[in-house]
Structure 1
Amino acid sequence: MRNGTHTSHVNPECPPPPEAERGPTSVHFRSTDAIDRIARLAARVLKAPFASIFVIEDDRQIVYGSCLPGEEGVLPRSLTARGYGRLVVESGEPLLVEDVRSHPQLSAEAEKQDGGVISIIAVPLGSKHGSDAGVFCVGHPEPSRWSEDDAAILTDLAALAAAEIVRERTAAGPVKSGHEVADAEEQSAAILESITDAFVALDTDWRFTYVNEAAEKLLRFSRSDLLGLSIWSAFPDVAGTRFEDAYRRAVRDGVAVRVEDYFAPLDLWASVHAYPSGEGLSIYFQDISARKLAETRHAAAEAHYRRLVCSIPQAVHVLDGEGCFVEVNPATERILGRSAEELLGVGFDLVISPQSLEGVKELFTDLMSGRANDVEFESFIRRPSGEERLLAITGTSIKENGRFAGVHGIARDVTVEREQQIALRESEERFRQIAEHVKEAFWVCSPDFSTALYISPVYEQISGRPMVGDDVDMRSFIDWVHPDDAEGFREAMKELSHGVATTIEHRIIRPDGTIRRVLVRGFPILDSAGAVYRIVGTAEDVTEERESEARQRLLATALDGLGEGVC
């Protein structure tokens, strides 16, 4: 690089590629201070050590500018037309690759490249003109996540470099006719007009020297009104704004400056990139009002989400890819018995009880490996006091660019709930044991008798019919009732459904044709509003008792008749 810190050259240790994959047959360097400076600027802005700017001319690769580390930097083959740059030449599209080793199309190519470039971002150099095509490449020896903003910045700089190359060609060639010079200037202007962003150029006196069509639309001035006028005269409202500070700093310090702010006179949010040069200042504008509106709405939604998360009783938390807490809500602090300061940056194994830890680690591994996207489980946690609580936890994997990045979790303390369930099961078991060892059948059903919630086994003995499960429809019991007692049975069911305790004795016909007498007592259970939500009752086979009573009555009648005869 001339007047720089190193000399640019192709790596001499890199063997020539096979015929099938060769790019241009020769590489030439035609570096200039201006274009080298643009390459350095791109490398500095994108925080990368390598950059190259080249054009393909008649099967020759002309390197017009580069940025290489060290005093004797080597231009990696990967940043030339024989490397990844070739793909941009062929497609005419930007190329953003975080890691070429894992890229489905470039992993094989990565083994052939030199210079240690692992991550690359490359854009077409302006636009094609005749048989020429160019590329602006930036590379990094470590994986890097390039953004669309990075591509936009590099595209802006590529247009600037393309215009400079046109000027360099014009100045470096033999004396040209007025028509040839005019053609070159038109070519340079065509490149700047092709930029979708608004672009203006200022001289060292802050006067407009170039305004493209996009800038006319954005600034709401024609170029004829602006050319030759200073920016401070044309736009006096810029004075005192962040835009003025950015422009003056770019010129004063010789650095690229980026600023985003609202400009009231035009009622828009603008993103501005300013690049200084020996000739003045190049400025790119973008109207980002729509993006700012979306960001405002997103921020409002995010604030609403934060308020919601902070107010709910469940423990909402986020773990990173290593299983460390990166976000916790107040409920998480309360349930785990630890402050956010104690939790953030610490692994989940701090809070999981030893009896549950291995199982939780296995589930985290399932999420990390992609074997599962969601998991639901219960785990004991241990508070600093040593107290253990049981949590019901749902975990969902977080993906970024298709890769596992962490877990979003929601946890609920179910300790009391599980204790109550255990107590209820024990109580139900005791109830069943009692119900199964008394002579009366015990039953519980819904208010409309459609669902039997419980029927003790004694009922099978009484009815002679199997009671399968606990979802028997008790309305069907009317089919067993003796026809002469059916109406009374229906009336009793109606009274119970309306909240009236009822006792009824009726006959049933068993499957074998025998008739049994059953004494039924029903009791409605009311909720807090006074509505019936359960009906409980007993059923007792009183056949023998009633037959015994009938025999006693007959005997008494017979004895009474015998006594009268004797008298």
Structure 2
Amino acid sequence: MIRGTVRDMSLAEHEARIILSINKAVASIFDLDELLQRLADIVSEAAHFSRVAIDLSNRSGEVTIRAVHGHPKELTGRPFDLLSFNPNFMRVLSGELLIYDYDDPALPKASRSLLESTNTLRVINVPIMRANRFLGMIVADEPGVKHEFTEEEIRLIVAIADQASMAIENARLYEEQKYAAAEIGESRKQVLDILESISDGFFALDNDWRFTYVNTKAAELIGKRREALLFRNMWEVVPQLAGTIFETEYRRAKEEMAPVSFEARYPPIDRWLEVRVYPYENGLSVYATDITDRKSAEEALAESERRFREILEEASLVAVMLDTHGQVTFANEFLLELTGWSENEIIGRDWFDLLIPSEEREELRKGFRESIAQGTIFPHHVNDILTKRGEHRTISYSNIILRDTKGRVIGTASFGEDVTGRKMTERQ
């Protein structure tokens, strides 16, 4: 039961950390091309794909290759007729993931030849959707092989696509907003229609902090009717913002004339918001997204991690974590009581020198180093450890490899049962 929890927690924590790193990486990027290139790099780094492309659909539905990793840069800027290349892309346009091979009979002959000439044997296409609207897709492959995409790889790339959608939409809207002031008539109406139709809250403030535009979603998030906000001073109609991070960041954006972004709980409606603030000559443009569900999930993950550590501390099991050098980074209370060592005496010490009997030490150390180098470990193992008094205790272990958010090995975790009495009975 505990072994399954550990494995699931490791995967969940790995994915959660990657999502957090994505949010941090794109939070301060407002240039669309720079954002898309960073996303291509993130997909390659997180899921370990050699080649990645980000295809983006414009407002008229034309799809263009906008960013690449591992492909020639000359590919960027090229239009891409999805359905002519592969009729099955209709599924991607409706939000469905698609994996296909270069020799798929459904592909036109020209498409098969192009894929073969670029050594593309199998490719995954993950749609980037926003409010059921196709924004683009993430395309990844391993050259020269029909790569078997794992469940974890697919889950990661889908999570990245989900996170990317809002960042892409905001960057695109920011690009449009920069030119909106120079447009008149129908162009201005189109921009306002876009701002009204987006799922994020948007409002504009003039240099006297008066609302000059508020879309329907923003009025809902602020908790007031649009008519009660327009042309009114923000600090007067929403006094709860005074002295909060909202005031601090709005004023900073205005003073520094630089975009800012932050996450905070919004007091009037008790919801978490992700806020992006863009200053311009005549005031501020503000985009706000309700992220309460995401924050609740993060809090739930943190709470489950806390409970997990409590279980390790309270369970009658040995629990120990080692870094890649074999030094102890965590030891639970049960292990300390069993061996007689204190936490200060064991943390940071070499596990094999301190607790492994000399007759087993080098063999176990060698096996540990091989596990670290190969990224795999025997899931179950039985060996003796030494107490502080020099007594032998026999432990039956379950082992897992620990990895960071980039998938690199950072150590091992072992959970074991003291089976000394059972072994003595068997020998008798």
TM-score, structure 2 length as denominator?
Answer: 0.58
* Corresponding letter in the other structure for 2:32: A
Higher helix share: 2
Q: Which residue of 2 aligns with 1:201?
A: 204
CA gap of 1:223–1:407, structure 2 versus 1, over 3 A, is: same
Distance 2:274 2:178 in 1: 28
Structure 1 or 2, whichever has the larger Rg, is 1
1:211-222 aligned at under 5 Å gives the runs 211-222=214-225
Q: 1:185 aligns with which of 164, 167, 188?
A: 188
Contact 1:163 1:191 in 2 (8 A): no
Q: Deviations over 1:493-528 (max 9, x none)?
A: xxxxxxxxxxxxxxxxxxxxxxxxxxxxxxxxxxxx
1:237 to 201, 216, 240: 240
- 3-state DSSP class of the match of 1:224? helix
**Are 1:395 and 2:402 an aligned pair?**
no
Deviation at 1:216, TM superposition (A): 2.3
Q: Do the aligned residues in 1 keep the contact of 2:62 with 2:79 (CA within 8 Å)?
A: no
Identity across matched positions, percent: 23
Tell me the distance in 2 between the aligned counterparts of 1:418 and 1:48: 52
| Inter-partner Cα distance in structure 1 for 2:175 and 2:289 | 22
Instruction: Spell out the pairing of 1:473-512 with structure 2 (5 A cutoff).
Output: none
The CA deviation at 1:307 is: 3.0
Q: Secondary structure at the match of 1:205?
A: coil
Q: Which moved more, 1:336-345 or 1:377-386?
A: 336-345
Calculate the TM-score normalised by the size of structure 1: 0.46
8 Å contact 1:353–1:382 — kept in the other structure? yes
Instruction: Say whether the 8 Å CA contact 1:39–1:52 is kept in structure 2.
Output: no
* Amino acid paired to 1:38: D
User: How far, CA to CA, are the matches of 2:305 and 2:423 in structure 1?
Assistant: 35
Following the alignment from structure 1 to structure 2, what is the Cα–Cα distance between the partners of residues 58 and 286? 25
Partner amino acid, structure 2, of 1:412: E
C-alpha distance in 1 between matches for 2:357 and 2:102: 44
**Alpha-carbon shift at residue 159 of structure 1 (Å):** 4.1
| Inter-partner Cα distance in structure 2 for 1:169 and 1:328 | 60
Deviation at 1:381, TM superposition (A): 2.5
CA 1:110/1:247 → structure 2, altered by over 3 Å: closer, same or farther? farther
* Residue of structure 1 aligned with 2:256, choices 253, 257, 278: 253
Unaligned runs of 5+ in 1: 1-35, 69-73, 97-102, 114-119, 173-177, 426-567
Q: Which amino acid aligns with 1:418?
A: K
The answer to whether the 8 A contact 1:327-1:344 is kept is yes
Task: Tell me, in whole angstroms, the C-alpha distance in 2 between the residues paired with 1:326 and 1:148.
Answer: 30
Question: Which residue of the partner structure matches residue 409 of structure 1?
Answer: 414
Deviation at 1:404, TM superposition (A): 9.4
2 CA distance for matches of 1:232 and 1:243?
11
Higher relative contact order (CA 8 A, sep 6+): 2
Equivalent pair of 2:322/2:412 in contact (CA under 8 Å):
yes
Report the equivalent of 2:331: 328
Contact 2:64 2:76 (C-alpha < 8 Å) held by counterparts: no
Distance of 2:248 and 2:101 partners within structure 1: 43
Contact 2:37 2:67 (8 Å CA) reproduced: no
Would you say the 8 A contact 1:257–1:274 is kept in 2? yes
Amino acid at match of 1:218: L
Would you say 1:77 and 2:81 are equivalent positions? no
CA contact (8 A) 2:327 2:347 kept: yes
Q: Take 1:110 and 1:249, find their aligned partners in 2: how far apart are those partners?
A: 53
Aligned equivalents of 2:81 and 2:329: distance in 1?
A: 40
- Pick closer, same or farther for the CA change 1:62–1:349 going to 2, 3 Å: same
| Residue number in structure 2 paired with 1:155 | 166
Residue 504 of structure 1 corresponds to which residue in structure 2? none
Do the aligned residues in 2 keep the contact of 1:125 with 1:161 (CA within 8 Å)? no
Equivalent residues of 2:274, 2:290 under 8 A apart: yes
Distance 1:205 1:403, change over 3 A: same
Corresponding residue of 1:490: none
The CA deviation string for residues 97-124 of structure 1, in whole angstroms up to 9 with x for no partner, is: xxxxxx97699979949xxxxxx99957
CA distance in 1, matches of 2:181, 2:55: 18
2:273 match: 270
**Equivalents in 2 of 1:383, 1:79: separation in Å?**
66
- Helix, strand or coil: the match of 2:209? coil
- Kindly indicate whether the alpha-carbon contact (under 8 Å) linking 2:204 and 2:284 is maintained by their aligned counterparts in 1: yes
Q: Deviations over 1:190-225 (max 9, x none)?
A: 332332222223334333233222222222223233
SS at match of 2:313: helix
Q: 1:325 to 1:58 in 2, by over 3 A?
A: same
Which among 299, 302, 310 is matched to residue 307 of structure 1?
Answer: 310
Shift of 1:238: 0.3
- 8 Å contact 1:52–1:67 — kept in the other structure? yes
Distance 2:268 2:61 in 1: 51
Distance 1:155 1:57, change over 3 A: closer
Q: CA deviation at 1:379?
A: 0.4
Q: In 1, are the aligned partners of 2:211 and 2:230 still within 8 Å (CA)? A: yes
Query: What is the alpha-carbon distance in structure 1 between the residues aligned to residue 419 and residue 67 of structure 2?
Result: 61
Deviation at 1:289? 3.6
Matching residue within 265, 280, 285 for 1:282? 285
Tell me, yes or no, if the aligned pair for 2:273 and 2:288 is still in contact at 8 Å. Answer: yes
8 Å contact kept, 1:250–1:275: yes
2: CA distance, partners of 1:295 / 1:273: 20
Q: Which residue of 1 aligns with 2:423?
A: 418
Aligned to 2:382: 378
Once superposed, what is the RMSD of the aligned Cα atoms? 5.7
Q: 1:276 to 1:329 in 2, by over 3 A?
A: farther
Q: Aligned residue for 2:32? A: 39
Alignment partner, residue 316 of structure 1: 319
Q: Name the SS for the 1:265 alignment partner.
A: coil
Query: Which amino acid letter does the alignment assign opposite residue 420 of structure 2?
Result: T
Match of 1:487 in 2: none
Contact 2:377 2:400 in 1 (8 A): no
The CA distance in 2 between the partners of 1:46 and 1:345, in whole Å, is 37
Report the 3-state secondary structure (helix = DSSP H, G, I; strand = E; otherwise coil) of the residue aligned with 2:263: strand
